[in-house]
């Protein structure tokens, strides 16, 4: 156990488990960049264009979910005090996730072969189920009471709901056997996926990770639970309102989203106070990336609240880039630049700490982090400018920034692991 942190580091899985996911995720980010570089503004011609749908899932399932799966395999036993059972099954989760994402993208985006949808359905369902069962057992058996664990529990429940809806969409896309309100169902799918799964997990992880790594005061537990309740209430109210009304009245949308907005405002206020109270005043690259993420998330919420007043598709694209690239990707990168050197140091050198030749954790962090920060700022500005102006070259340049980000993440892994084969 790491003294004073409440973390059971001795329960962590082998280094190969999370790193398998961390090493694969940049590949999907690279593919996203290549698609944007090739297709450019044509992806913005219609919200449900097959190529656009494929790109969104390349980002959410390929890039974001892959990192989050690896991070949860690492964090859950450390926070909960017990190992995830059948951890060797993570290899199957990893392999099926890759096959599922690529099959989905090749069929929906390119129309390569109809049978790829069946392969995508089985692979993605298998990956998520093989992930949820052992992870869920560990989460719900844990005797530790902590808001981060509750956030993870809520997140995987939303992930299961997203999987079920995704399989329904694939079946309907392939066979057209359901008479469904596609726009309302897509809205529910997005709410549970982006807010119920992704945002809840990231906010919950920040409750513990930020105070631990950056010497901040602990996040107030009562406030953390209040934030999670506010988010959960909106997951119920907003999808219900979307299914009851067509079109959804603006007052109903705002009323249903109000609990989540209040929760996010409270979260932002507390985090700002904790940042100011941290004992280590130095601002490093990882903290700056968290700042970029919070800025992107704040702007995304503002844009989302403008939807009931404006029907322009441009706002939806702007929200997508602010949320997925401004908020989620920035924070993921900030976490990876902190977690990868830490895990490498722990698995290789913690048993020999203080002995000659043993490096500090900072020695395992490459100086290229500054370039990642600058690239993230540049990419976010390019994305926002492209959404507002509709100018094709800006979107293609934003794709280049994703390619650069992927290459820098691979260099981070190489730099941390270059000296000696890591313990597996």
User: Residue 358 and residue 350: Cα distance in Å, rounded?
Assistant: 9
Mean pLDDT of 265-274: 92
User: Residue 165 and residue 144: Cα distance in Å, rounded?
Assistant: 32
Q: Using one digit for the tens of pLDDT, what is the confidence trace for 363-418?
A: 888 988 999 999 999 999 999 999 988 889 999 999 999 999 999 999 999 999 88
Which of 4-8, 106-110, 136-140, 339-343 shows the lowest mean pLDDT across its residues? Answer: 4-8
Q: What is the pLDDT of residue 16?
A: 92
Which distant-in-sequence residues (6+ apart) come within 8 Å of 320 by Cβ?
56
Mean pLDDT of 140-146: 81
Beta bridge partners of 1: none
* Residue 327: Cβ-neighbour burial (10 angstroms; 0-12, 13-18, 19+): buried
Binned at pLDDT 50, 70 and 90, residue 361 comes out as confident
Mean pLDDT of 30-47: 87
Binned at pLDDT 50, 70 and 90, residue 356 comes out as confident
Average pLDDT, the chain: 87
Alpha-carbon separation of residue 110 from 42, 51, 88 (angstroms): 14, 7, 34
Contact 303, 322 (CB under 8 A): yes
Residue scoring higher pLDDT (247 or 346): 346
Q: Using one digit for the tens of pLDDT, what is the confidence trace for 283-335?
A: 889 999 999 999 999 999 888 877 766 656 778 889 999 999 999 999 999 99
Contact 301, 264 (CB under 8 A): yes
Beta bridge partners of 7: 2
3: helix, coil or strand? coil
User: Residue 327 and residue 183: Cα distance in Å, rounded?
Assistant: 25
Binned at pLDDT 50, 70 and 90, residue 10 comes out as low
Which of 32-36, 64-68, 165-169 shows the lowest mean pLDDT across its residues? Answer: 165-169
Question: For 259, how many CA atoms within 13 A lie in the half-sphere containing its CB?
Answer: 17
**Torsional sign, CA 414, 212, 232, 47:** negative
User: Residue 124 and residue 159: Cα distance in Å, rounded?
Assistant: 12
Binned at pLDDT 50, 70 and 90, residue 193 comes out as very high
Binned at pLDDT 50, 70 and 90, residue 181 comes out as low
Contact 250, 280 (CB under 8 A): no
**Torsional sign, CA 48, 49, 54, 56:** negative
Angle, in degrees to the nearest 10, between helices 369-389 and 285-304: 20
CA angle 138, 140, 145 (to 5 degrees): 100
Q: What is the pLDDT of residue 178?
A: 60
Q: What is the pLDDT of residue 411?
A: 96
Residue 230, pLDDT > 50, answer yes
418: helix, coil or strand? coil
Q: What is the DSSP letter of 5?
A: T
Q: Using one digit for the tens of pLDDT, what is the confidence trace for 113-125?
A: 778 888 999 999 9
Q: What is the pLDDT of residue 8?
A: 55
Closest to 100 (Cα-Cα) out of 113, 115, 87, 116? 116
Question: For 258, how many CA atoms within 13 A lie in the half-sphere containing its CB?
Answer: 6
Which distant-in-sequence residues (6+ apart) come within 8 Å of 75 by Cβ?
148, 152, 205
Q: What is the pLDDT of residue 129?
A: 95
Q: What is the pLDDT of residue 183?
A: 75
User: Residue 160 and residue 111: Cα distance in Å, rounded?
Assistant: 27
The full set of domain ranges for the chain reads 282-349+358-417
- 150, containing H or E segment: helix 147-175
Alpha-carbon separation of residue 88 from 29, 84, 92, 227 (angstroms): 26, 10, 8, 34
Mean pLDDT of 141-156: 89
Q: What is the pLDDT of residue 279?
A: 81
């Amino acid at each position: 156990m790491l003294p004073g942190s409440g973390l059971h580091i001795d329960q962590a899985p082998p280094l190969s488990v999370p790193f398998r996911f961390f090493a694969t995720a940049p590949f999907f980010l690279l593919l996203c960049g290549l698609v944007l570089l090739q297709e450019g503004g044509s992806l913005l011609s219609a919200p449900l264009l097959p190529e656009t749908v494929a790109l969104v899932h390349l980002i959410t399932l390929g890039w974001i979910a892959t990192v989050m799966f690896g991070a949860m395999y690492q964090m859950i036993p450390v926070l909960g005090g017990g190992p995830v059972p059948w951890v060797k099954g993570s290899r199957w989760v990893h392999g099926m996730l890759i096959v599922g994402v690529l099959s989905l993208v090749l069929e929906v985006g390119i129309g390569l072969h109809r049978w790829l949808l069946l392969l995508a359905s089985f692979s993605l369902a298998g990956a998520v189920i093989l992930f949820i069962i052992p992870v869920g057992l560990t989460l719900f058996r844990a005797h530790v009471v902590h808001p981060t664990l509750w956030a993870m529990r809520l997140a995987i429940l939303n992930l299961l709901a997203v999987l079920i809806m995704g399989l329904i969409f694939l079946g309907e896309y392939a066979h057209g056997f359901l008479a469904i309100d596609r726009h309302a169902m897509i809205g529910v799918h997005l709410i549970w996926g982006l807010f119920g799964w992704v945002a809840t997990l990231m906010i919950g992880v920040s409750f513990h990770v930020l105070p631990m790594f950056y010497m901040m005061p602990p996040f107030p537990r009562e406030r953390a639970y209040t934030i999670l309740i506010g988010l959960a209430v909106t997951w119920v109210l907003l999808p219900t309102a979307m299914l009851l009304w067509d079109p959804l009245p603006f007052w109903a949308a705002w009323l249903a989203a109000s609990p989540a907005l209040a929760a996010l405002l409270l979260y932002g206020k507390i985090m700002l106070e904790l940042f100011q109270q941290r004992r280590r005043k130095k601002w490093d690259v990882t903290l700056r990336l968290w700042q970029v993420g919070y800025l992107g998330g704040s702007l995304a919420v503002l844009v989302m609240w403008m939807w009931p007043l404006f029907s322009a598709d441009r706002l939806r694209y702007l929200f997508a880039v602010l949320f997925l690239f401004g908020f989620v990707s920035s924070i993921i990168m900030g976490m990876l630049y902190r977690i990868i050197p830490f895990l490498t140091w722990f698995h290789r050198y913690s048993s020999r700490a203080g002995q000659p030749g043993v490096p500090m954790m900072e020695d395992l962090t490459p100086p290229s982090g500054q370039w990642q920060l600058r690239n993230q700022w540049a990419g976010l500005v390019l994305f926002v400018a492209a959404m507002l102006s509709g100018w094709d070259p800006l979107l293609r340049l934003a794709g280049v920034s994703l390619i650069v980000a992927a290459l820098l993440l691979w260099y981070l892994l190489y730099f941390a692991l270059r000296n000696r084969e890591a313990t597996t």
